[in-house]
Amino acid sequence: MKQIWAIAKRELGSYFTSPVAYVFLVIFLLLTGFFTFTAGQFFERGEASLGAFFAWHPWLYLVLVPAVGMRLWAEERRSGTLELLMTMPITPWQAIAGKFLASWIFLAVALALTFPVAVTANLLGSPDNGMIFTGYLGSFLLAGAYLAVTCMTSAMTRNQVVAFILSVVACLFLILAGFNPVTDLMVRWASPAFIDTVAAFSVVTHFDGFQKGVIDTRDLFFFLSVIGFALFATSVILRNR
């Protein structure tokens, strides 16, 4: 546990000693602001909820989360520090967990900094704060799932750009499987059961419940198993480097 924390601490430190953290935070907050208030028509909706805010998260994270996670292993490979890390008396799991947790904590900080949106909704009306809480929880899990996928693609290559593109594509698939325009297309030729099965792999389907204020154990299980599977795949990739 101490070793996991040592790795997480170092990783967090490297985010904040480079411009990555600040650039990311500023862009993330600007974009959430733009999508919520302008594109999402937060005011025109006339309802006290954060629906306009959360609905964009699967798309926003699609680009931003891979940008946070792409360096995790690719950079270690490129600079040769992977050799240093892997010859330390730690298990690969400790290294994977430490790195993943550091980036997830960083994303949690970014998410927490969007609190003015929740405050605004509370000032203008009386939203269901339980629903806002579950929305944040779902968003955090969604970010974790994307991040774990990025971890995996980052372990495959020493090139951060390749890691970025691979994880955007993989995460895009996780969205599109349950995205309404795509499922509507499939209605013409596929059986409803098939569509439901494909949609069950989508983060959108599972994120919906959280936005409605429901914590379904199936949704929780989905996100945690995506994270678990992607991190397991990371360990396999690292072992076969």
Partner 1 sequence: MEFEACGGNSSFYLIPGRFSAIMRPRKTIQPMIKIENLVKNFGAKRAVDGISFSVERGEVVGFLGPNGSGKSTTMRMITGYYPPTAGKVSVGGYDVAESPLEAKRLIGYLPENAAAYPEMTVRGFLAFAAELRGLSGDAKRKALARAVERCFLASVLHQSIDTLSKGYRHRTCLAQALIHDPEVLVLDEPTEGLDPNQKHEVRNLIRELGRSKAVVFSTHILEEVDAACTRAIIIDRGRIVAQGTPDELGRPLDEVFRRITIPDTGLAVPDAVKA
**Residues 10, 198: Cα–Cα separation, whole Å:** 39
**Residues 42, 37: Cα–Cα separation, whole Å:** 5
Q: Interior CA angle at 136 toward 15 and 150, to 5°?
A: 45
Q: Are 109 and 16 in contact (CB under 8 A)?
A: no
* Nearest CB to partner 1, comparing residues 36 and 234: 234
Closest separation in Å from C-beta 161 to partner 1: 19
| Interacting residue with partner 1 among 46, 80, 180, 188 (CB under 8 A) | 80
Residue 182 engages partner 1 in binding (rule: CB under 8 A): no
**Residues 74, 80: Cα–Cα separation, whole Å:** 10
Residue 236 engages partner 1 in binding (rule: CB under 8 A): no
Which residues make Cβ contacts (< 8 Å) with residue 143, sequence separation at least 6? Answer: 57, 61, 65, 104, 107, 108, 111
Closest separation in Å from C-beta 211 to partner 1: 38
Residue 89 engages partner 1 in binding (rule: CB under 8 A): yes
**Where do we find the tokens 């891979």?**
66
**Region near partner 1 per CB under 8 A, out of 23-31, 65-73, 78-86, 108-116:** 78-86
* Nearest CB to partner 1, comparing residues 78 and 108: 78
Residue 46 engages partner 1 in binding (rule: CB under 8 A): no
| Interacting residue with partner 1 among 14, 56, 133, 198 (CB under 8 A) | 14
**Region near partner 1 per CB under 8 A, out of 3-11, 104-112, 155-163, 228-236:** 3-11
**Both tokens assigned to 146:** 């994307």
Which residues make Cβ contacts (< 8 Å) with residue 129, sequence separation at least 6? Answer: 118, 122
User: Of 90, 101, 91, 104, nearest to 235 (Cα)?
Assistant: 91
Residue 159 engages partner 1 in binding (rule: CB under 8 A): no
Binding interface with partner 1 (CB under 8 A): 2-3, 6-7, 9-10, 13-14, 17-18, 79-81, 83-84, 86-91
